[in-house]
Amino acid sequence: MNHEKSITEIKILQGNEAVVEGALAAGCRYFAGYPITPATEIAELMSERLPPLGGVFMQMEDEIASICATIGAAFGGALACTASSGPGISLMQEGIGYAAETEAPIVVVNVMRGGPSTGMPTAAGQQDIIQARAGSHGDYEIIALMPSSSQEAFELTYRAFALAQHYRVPVYVLSDEIIGHTREKVRIPGGLRPIERKHPRERENYLPYKAGADDLLDGMPAFNEGYRLLIDGQLHSEDGNRAGHLPDVCAQLTERLCRKITGHREEIYDLETHFLDDAERVVVCFGSPARPALRAVKDARDRGVRAGYMKIRTIWPFPEEAIAALAGKARTLIVPELNVGRVVQEVRRVTAGRTEVVSLPKLGGLLHTPDEILAELMKRRRP
Amino acid sequence: MVDIIIDEQYCKGCELCMHYCPKQILKKSGRRNAKGYVPPMVADPEQCSNCRTCELICPELAITLEDKP
Amino acid sequence: MNPIGEKYLRKKALPFLWCPGCGNGTILGATVRAIESLGIREDVALVGGIGCSGWIPVYIDADTLHSLHGRTLPFATGLKMSNPKRKVIVFTGDGDCLGIGGNHFIHTARRNLDITVIMVNNQIYGMTGGQVAPTTPLKAKTKTSFYGNPEDPFDACELAKVAGATYVARWTAAHALSLSRSIAEAITHEGFAFIEVIAQCPTQAGRIIYGTADPARLLDTLKAQTVSVKSASKLDAEALQGKWLIGTLHHDKGKTEFSRSYFGMAGPRGGKPAA
């Protein structure tokens, strides 16, 4: 897109296309991927759009190669991204752990489909939310954003690149088949600036893994800029050398990798709320079920129910404080999700029995209808 | 003429240098370094043909051939 | 420490974790001499795999990515394609490259991506303690081929060639000077350059397959299984049975390299990568 323009452009895009527009606006110039339903359109459009920008699109031999090439490009100096779904995302998990450990800023788009295994390739699911947080071995934290429209697919992908660079962490965009394939209006604001990678302030005595008081690293140099970097998937000291023989150093690094995300969660949170002031029954939603949920909340209010709406756009780190605050006000929290009921467990954990929490799972590749959510909102408080 | 300089602290006593020296002028020194390995010594420096085989094969980069003025 | 070591090694990473007499240190020496001879220290991007040989670049004070088991080549691909001017050198073992990383190996060779791959072949999984590898000789007993290896080994150089590599060479750790020159030639070659180095692993392959833990004896045994490319032309198939050909086995300067082909074909910038 043309950054000179300051006029908002309006396009009709499916979510997968909006992801590409968001990535390119952010300055993504490297994409490595492998075809998989329902994410393939992202690779197809990248293959058309990146080369004229001087960027690189590569169809790799598999998803393992895709994630590793993406990480390689990130250390090579590019804003880099990959996209896949179910089985492909599973194959990428070792690479995502490597990116978390080496603090590689990459964006991974998961257009979620029904699982497990080959599952339901052409139908939506939200069964990979737990995987996104903890799919690779070992302790680490990532950031995951969940769009519920083409507009959000654009905006959250753009933000994903900014977050990845700032926190030096893999950032997921957890889209799904419904968002990926729904074609709707997207406003692309003019004058959007590409995300810039911060260079280290220090050069002379630069230590690639020396964190500040905020647990974040001092920018990120690329290879061949004279820093002679040592990047290693082994737990390492501040200079990059392995520290397997130094238990304290290893423990501190693991803790910092988690704390640099959880400790900044209030800066990362992004919630959209409606009608919370007087709400007694609140739908806590994310991704595609947030669409019927808003309709249901409005319908319930039309019928006199004090219904409220909280859409979580940043599912990881989990917005603990905001949900806990709801528990003090609302009598019931309803959590619609396209899985057996996963995020509802997090909601129960942070509300700690202080309010009723109702799980509204939906499987089989279908989306909740507004009426299904409305029916729950209309129910009386359970004994 | 060259000097064969052996940095004993890095030597792991593998003896590849001794074995592949075409003139067989390197011998076991009999001393142990701090790690407990026995480094080689130059038994007959006059015979060195400056082929650098020992320097190139040493896996610890512990051998230097230096031209003597 | 000799001057080239003083100049090129990360002092804090020392000592090398390799066993006495391991071939990896010799290969490291040959590599830094090649880098020195070309004067390209600040242009190299080094990638190591998992296994003993993957540690070679960790000790070299340049830009180094110590990657995942089997995945050196995709990481190298990202590094190379994000700036085709950099010289990417990959250090991988036979298990890393041909076992877990076999698919990446044939595809990166097929693309003829301009990187240099140094595959250290010790015929065994050394770091994990001596298990059967895709290069272990037929019938050889290892920790996981208790009754003898029922599988034939790969010929890595033949595989590289048929997959599309445009520079293929093989040496042993006893050919330190030729190896260093070959590494320089491979770095200079524009295309996928593959060098297999037959290296002695006294601790695992030596003890378990060859019955000797003596580095020199083991290296001599390995060297005795080689035939130079020149002498091979005078030998019949029977005499060449089970031998490794040593030297430059393939050098094709005619095939277009991947990044050149990619940037030449794609986009109005006429082949120029992003700044």
pLDDT digit string (tens) for chain C, length 275 residues? 999 999 999 999 999 999 999 999 999 999 999 999 999 999 999 999 999 999 999 999 999 999 999 999 999 999 999 999 999 999 999 999 999 999 999 999 999 999 999 999 999 999 999 999 999 999 999 999 999 999 999 999 999 999 999 999 999 999 999 999 999 999 999 999 999 999 999 999 999 999 999 999 999 999 999 999 999 999 999 999 999 999 999 999 999 999 999 998 765 454 455 44
Chains A and C contact (Cβ–Cβ under 8 Å for 3 or more pairs): yes
- B63/C contact by beta carbon, under 8 A: yes
**From the list C1, C21, C28, which residue is nearest B16 (CB)?**
C21
In this structure, which topology does domain B2-67 adopt according to CATH? Answer: Alpha-Beta Plaits (3.30.70)
Q: Are residues A239 and C262, on separate chains, in Cβ contact within 8 Å?
A: no
Which residues of C fall within a CB distance of 8 Å from B20? 174, 216
Residue of chain C whose alpha carbon sits nearest to that of A66: C74
* Segment (H or E) for C82: helix C72-82
- How far is A165 from A48, CA to CA, in rounded Å? 25
Output the pLDDT for position C271.
Answer: 46
Q: How far apart are CA A155 and CA A148, in angstroms?
A: 11
Measured between CB atoms, does A205 come within 8 Å of chain C?
no
* DSSP 8-state code for residue C107: H
Residues of B in contact with C19 (CB under 8 A): 12
pLDDT of res. A328: 86
Nearest CA in chain C to A70: C78
> What per-residue confidence (pLDDT) applies to A5?
53
Contacts of C220 in chain B (CB under 8 A): 19
Cα C201 to chain centroid, rounded: 15
Nearest by CB to C2, from B20, B59, B62: name it: B62
Low-confidence ranges of chain B (pLDDT < 50): none
Which B residues 22-51 touch C at CB under 8 Å? 37
Distance CA B20, CA B53 (A): 7
Question: Which parts of chain A register pLDDT below 50?
Answer: 1-2, 383
Whether A contacts B, i.e. 3 or more CB pairs less than 8 A apart, is: no
Determine contact: B19 vs chain C, CB below 8 A: yes
Can you say how many angstroms the Cα of residue C53 is from the centroid of all Cα atoms in its chain?
A: 9
Order across the sheet with A271-274: list the strands: A271-274, A307-312, A281-285, A332-337, A356-361
Return the structure tokens found at A7: 């006029």
CB contact under 8 A, C21 and B19: no
Residue A232 at interface with chain C, using a CB cutoff of 8 Å:
yes
Q: What pLDDT does A381 receive? A: 52
* DSSP structure class, residue C128: T
> What's the CA gap between A132 and A142, in Å, rounded?
8
Helices A15-26 and A150-167, packing angle to 10 deg: 40
- Phi first, then psi: give them for residue A156, nearest 5 degrees: -75, -30
- If you measure CA to CA, which chain C residue comes closest to A27? C274
Predicted local distance difference test score (pLDDT) of residue C266:
63
pLDDT number for residue B26: 97
Q: Is B2 on the interface with C (CB under 8 A)?
A: no
Please report, to the nearest 10 degrees, the dihedral formed by the alpha carbons of residues C175, C177, C178, C182 taken in order. Answer: 120
Q: List chain A domain ranges.
A: 9-188, 270-378
B49 within 8 A of C22, measured Cβ to Cβ:
no
Do the chains contact at C65 and A234, CB–CB below 8 Å?
Answer: no
For residue A343, which of A368, A319, A372 has the smallest C-alpha distance?
A: A319
Identical fold for domains A9-188 and A270-378, yes or no, is yes
CATH hierarchy code of domain A9-188: 3.40.50.970
Using a 10 angstrom Cβ sphere, with 0-12 exposed, 13-18 middle and 19 or more buried, the burial of residue C186 is buried
Q: Give the Cα separation of C36 and C80 in Å (integer).
A: 21
pLDDT per residue as tens digits for the range A338-372: 999 999 999 999 999 999 999 999 999 999 999 99
User: H-helix or E-strand containing B12?
Assistant: none
Strand partners, A171: A107, A143
Query: What counts of helices (H) and strands (E) characterise chain B?
Result: 2, 4
Enumerate neighbours of A (3 or more CB pairs within 8 A): C
Using CB atoms, list chains with 3+ pairs below 8 Å to chain B.
C
Q: Which of C5, C176, C216 sits opposite B56 (nearest CB)?
A: C176
CATH number of A270-378, picked from 3.40.720.10, 3.40.50.1370, 1.10.3330.10, 3.40.50.920: 3.40.50.920
CB contacts of C76 in chain A (<8 Å) are 72
Kindly report the three-state secondary structure assignment for every residue of chain A: CCCCCCCCEEEEEEHHHHHHHHHHHHCCCEEEECCCCCCHHHHHHHHHHCHHHCCEEEECCCHHHHHHHHHHHHHHCCCEEEEECHHHHHHCHHHHHHHHHHCCCEEEEEEEEECCCCCEEEEECCCCHHHHHHCCCCCCCCEEECCCCHHHHHHHHHHHHHHHHHHCCCEEEEEEHHHHHCEEEEEECCCCCCCCCCCCCCCCCCCCCCECCCCCECCCCCCCCCCCCEEECCCECCCCCECCCCHHHHHHHHHHHHHHHHCCHHHHCCEEEECCCCCCEEEEECCCCHHHHHHHHHHHHHCCCCEEEEEECEEECCCHHHHHHHHHHCCEEEEEECCCCCHHHHHHHHHCCCCEEEEEECCCCCCCCHHHHHHHHHCCCCC
* pLDDT tens, residue by residue, A215-247: 999 999 999 999 999 999 999 999 999 999 999
What domains are there in chain C, each with its CATH number?
3-265 (3.40.50.970)
What pLDDT score does C257 carry? 96
Q: Mark which residues 256-315 of A lie under 8 Å from C by CB.
A: none
Does the pTM surpass 0.90? The reply is yes
Picking from B5, B56, B61, the nearest residue to C5 by CB comes out as B61
